[in-house]
Chains A and B, each alone.
Chain A
Amino acid sequence: MDKPRPPIPFASAPLPVRLVLGFTLLAFCLWLPAFAALFR
């Protein structure tokens, strides 16, 4: 049932690193397109 999944990169990094990286990624890949959609 539970297939072995590849590990998440940087998942074992310290919490601040994970937070900064995660929020940066979301800001670029999630917020930026939404913001761009608002101003096109």
Chain B
Amino acid sequence: MGAQQDWEDRKRAWKDYKRGWKAQRREDRREARTERPGPIFGWRVWLLPLFLWPLAFDIPIEILRGNSSQLVGGILGVALAWMGAARMARGGPGDLRAGAILMGVAAGLTAGLAAKIFPPIAVAMGFGTFFGVRLLTADMAAYEPPPPAPPPPAPTPTPEAASLVGPRAQIARIRAAAPPLPHAPLLLEAVSAMQGVVDDLAARPAQLHEARRFLAVHLDGLVRIVERLEAGAEPPETLPQLLRDLTASAHRLRGELRQVESQALDIQVKVLSDRLRQEGL
């Protein structure tokens, strides 16, 4: 029994070791991929080894027939052509030429070994392939690797947040203008209360539509009052009361917004507890 347990433990340890080694290798490969400098030329390069499609049928046939030299020629042809395409797809300087040479060697081996063509002609076919590949990929040499991507643009404000920009600017304007004006403490108190509303809305943009009227009417009105006072207007006697009313209304609105949130939470809690009850928990 002990020996069995020992064996199981050793097997598990070996599996863990293997898994770690594989993960490490995967990580290394991913790093190598991301560090690759050049661009990737897609289908134009990978089209080229597809000219060798008959070898895909030829290789199994040669396996069945047992023609080793033809089999070696076919496999080498496919492998070298694939390596050449991969080399060209890397797109670094000189990779196009190196890939074309590989493709030429692949063609020469295919012709000489797999097709048993007269060797000088096979060599000439290798050169012809090299030349053809160079011709088809010549214009890709002028390809400049794209400049590094610009840093991602600053996150654009959501429509909700953007619609709070105006109110915030108005509040800042009132705050800046209020101190020398008559009834400055009341003005500042009202504007602080409104600031509270705007901050609440920024935290809960879903409720923005409920406070739109408040933002449009009260804040605009306060800005106009401040503008008139700045222009030297004599404040009417009802102004302090109005400012107090504005403050109170802002406080009330904050309370309502919070209440709506509380109700939503209430409903959520109820729904969830109902669901739990239905599921018999």
Contacts and interface: CB of A to CB of B under 8 A. Distances in A.
Say whether A associates with B: yes
B25 interface: no
Interface in B194-233: none
Contact of B107 (A19, A24, A33, A38): A33
A10 B135 contact: yes
Interface residues of A, number: 28
Contacts of B127: 29
B132 A22 contact: yes
Contacts of B139: 11, 15, 18
A25 B126 contact: no
A40 B116 contact: yes
Interface residues of B, number: 41
Contact of A34 (B77, B93, B116, B122): B77
Contact of A35 (B54, B97, B103, B138): B54
B128 A29 contact: yes
Interface string A1-12: 010010011110
B116 A18 contact: no
Interface stretch (B7-15, B45-53, B183-191, B271-279): B45-53
Contacts of B138: 8, 11, 18
Given A2-B93, A22-B136, A34 B55 contact: yes
A29 B132 contact: yes
Contacts of B89: none
Nearest to A26: B132
A37 B70 contact: yes
A28 B125 contact: yes
A34 B116 CA distance: 10
Contact of A31 (B52, B70, B93, B103): B52
Interface string B108-145: 00110011110000101111110111111011000000
Q: Which of B58, B73, B106, B127 has the most CB of A within 10 A?
A: B58
Nearest to B109: A33
Contacts of B57: 38
Interface of B: 48, 51-55, 57-58, 61, 70, 73-74, 77, 81, 93-94, 97, 103, 106-107, 110-111, 114-117, 122, 124-129, 131-136, 138-139
13 contacts: A8-B135, A11-B134, A23-B136, A26-B51, A26-B129, A30-B51, A30-B106, A30-B125, A33-B114, A35-B54, A37-B115, A37-B116, A38-B58
The 10 lowest CB-CB distance pairs between A and B, nearest first, are A25-B132, A29-B128, A33-B111, A37-B114, A22-B136, A22-B135, A36-B115, A29-B125, A11-B138, A37-B115
